[in-house]
Structure 1
Amino acid sequence: MTSRDIVGRAPTPPTGTRNRNPVGTRPGRRYPWLVFALAFGLLLSDYMSRQVLSAVFPVLKTEWSLSDAHLASLSSVVALMVGLLTLPLSLVADRWGRVRSLVVMAVVWSLATLLCAVAGNFHEMLAARFLVGVGEAAYGSVGIAVVLSIFAPRVHAALGGAFMAGGSFGSVVGVALGGSLAVQVGWRWSFAAMAVFGLLLVAVFRAVVSERKLDEYAVEPRLPAAAGGRAPFASLFTNPALLCAYIGGGLQMFTPAVLLSWAPSYFNRYYHLPADEAAATAAVFVLLIGSGMVICGIISDRFARSGSSRQWTAAVAFCVVALVCLSAGFGMTSGTTSLLLIGCGAFFAAGSSGPTAAVVTELSHSSARATGLGALTVANNVLGLALGPFVVGTLADHLGLLGALRLAPLMYAVAIAALLLGRRYHPAGKLRLARLALSTAR
């Protein structure tokens, strides 16, 4: 497969005009990848700002005398705000402009991260984390909609998985760098460094990416805000296959979210590592989560070449492997075997992210694709990124952290049930989308 097969091509210009990027020229193939790189970089910044908190959990717990439930609330409030605001902000971005929306989001979460650096107590930190969540709310859905709009559908699962893996890679950097800075120069500098990185990167993104350039390389034309033929908002929630993708995709993020938030504390408490070493060790497992998202997305695209419904099967398989490995790993005493099983489970923990994003993209009308992916982001955050860390933190106060971690993988069983149901409804979902496309075209 060549670059021409997977990236959008610049349209043929009207007679008498000059096309700066003729079809097939090297610049025309490079720009989509540049957009992907910059959007991916901002997602790194997003999760660096979000997950740096996990690296300083042990420090804040001691300095402010916080319970595990307090620590969990500082983490979950971000995901909760993302869950509440993603849909309305994605809808705004579809109409106001995706690029402008992404720039505003990145500026807000970066400035809010600076406020975290100067927080003097738990309540001030909670308020700053609330603002981080407001800024990050719709970045995942709008960012991935921008990326997928300029690449062919045959690589959507791979690109969707790779893009969302930016969350794990950003968490790796945020946790590892944040833990190191917290030990070397103080935890406040951990937040300040993430904020500065975000502000610098969003300036580069604003200078390079524009709505006009995206339209030139779009695989499928996007309707302007004032155009007719838009799919109704309700169509995103009346398709049973889409609903199953939202629920299954959200629930399969429950356990990865737990690992992202609580792995540093797990290694600090049960392997007796200092905060910086615990963060660095946890970063390895977070890296496995991100790598698995990319590789599982590639596998899903290859597996689904004979039929897009096979994306569901791949998603189920990844959940099954994660359920078995993580349950076994946390169920035994600490040691090499336990770490190997947890590492294997971490690799597949969020592997279903790419397939579910591909399914949502396929079953959403083109005029509401960012909003459809926004609904998936809501599910990911409410059912996974917000619920997981909070539930485990609350259980940890009663069962101990290890006892709570042993229960977390059981959520995969519910995700598997939803994904299997989605596979059953997939043909009907495609028919429903076809009828919707015909009705909006009239």
Structure 2
Amino acid sequence: MARIFGTDGVRGLANGQLTAELALDLSVSAAHVLADLGEFSGHRPLAVVGRDTRISGQFLEAAVVSGLASAGVDVLLLGVLPTPGVAFLTGSLGADLGVMLSASHNPMPDNGIKFLARGGVKLDDAIEVAIEKRMGEPWQRPTGGAVGRVSVHPTAVDEYAAHLVSTIGHPLDGLTIVLDCAEGAAHAAGPQALRGAGAEVIAIHADPDGLNINDGCGSTHLEPLRAAVLQHGADAGFALDGDSDRCLAVDHEGNVVDGDQILAVLSLSLRDQGRLAKDTVVVTVMSNLGFVQAMKAHQVGVRQTKVGDRYVLEAMRVGGYTLGGEQSGHVIMSEYATTGDGILTALHVMQRMAATGKSLQALAGVVVRLPQVLVNVRDVDKARADEDAVLAAAVAEEEAALDDRGRVLLRPSGTEEMVRVMVEAPTLDEAEAVAGRLADVVKAQLSL
């Protein structure tokens, strides 16, 4: 049977692959697995449940709550709240389990279920496997007072926003910013936190109706943010995604500031405060070479991992690092959060602006991005990509020609029969030429 859990929980078309029945069964099984692991021993178990603004989150929330309560777990409903907010309250409220209903930046018809362990951290893969295996098994149902109670936690947004404000030490007075809330989970918490820190906030796409999440807005569609920043003469703009675990930005002239540049700004800020553990930042192999070169020039180490925030988190945990993230704007500041947090990211970038008196454009300018070209070569045998001698020789030849002026990365897709060819070079023409030549070799050598 194909695995139900993916790299970021369970995700799919709501009421298609992701049904109320599946949500209920997963919740019951999760309660049983955690109980058998001793996570509930000695006390009455407690779970917190949050969701984004998708209309399907309402019936999925009802199913999850029904499953947990029927298994004897008390439930606190957090309502609409960002994923990092659910993670924070899982820890601050001493809950045994956190549940977030969201499909992040995916289109509205999709939804997802993410389980968080005590402290607001992602469940271990082994626990997810155990949850899958025990779905649908016979069980002794509690009755009477042993069933779970369900109540609403009405101050969830206020507590989370207050936590975010408490993480910065310099007021944001005098800064005017535009915040694109993506019609998503941060439509209330985002503006509240940034205003609480002293900024003047112009919130856009902050009127969700259950259907418009991520629809032409947020971190995957930066054009409305750029237009709003220019229209209002704002100092900067920040765009969140549907569950607010990532953030991208634009400067006062509307230029895009990507995750690499944001990480550079935060790396130097934390380093100057003596809070960048081991003076090192963790990123994936997809980070632009210009970022790596900029960090080297400023004596900041760079630890690179495979693509995926789970690998960044693992490297941070093992190495004891405090900052990591991806080019997509998924930034993890482990001193304050257990997952990526777009609002937190925006606050700390703004704090750097306020503390230095520099524009976001000037701060982000530390990174000179090399032109990057990505070619997806489809319908090839990706399993042979790492062992084909002709392809390896072609890559080596192109890398030798680029020398330290650029780089080549061939990466098999994790979900499709496809190989991704990524090339960075001093000019776009050179990057496109190298990528085209290598794509032709991939097709010739790996065709199905």
Same fold (TM over 0.5): no
Query: Which structure exhibits the higher relative contact order, with contacts defined as CA atoms closer than 8 Å and separated by 6 or more residues?
Result: 1
Decide which structure has greater helix share.
1
- Identify, as 1 or 2, the structure richer in strand: 2
Give the structure-2-normalised TM-score: 0.24
TM-score between both structures, scaled by the size of structure 1: 0.24
Q: Which has the larger radius of gyration?
A: 2
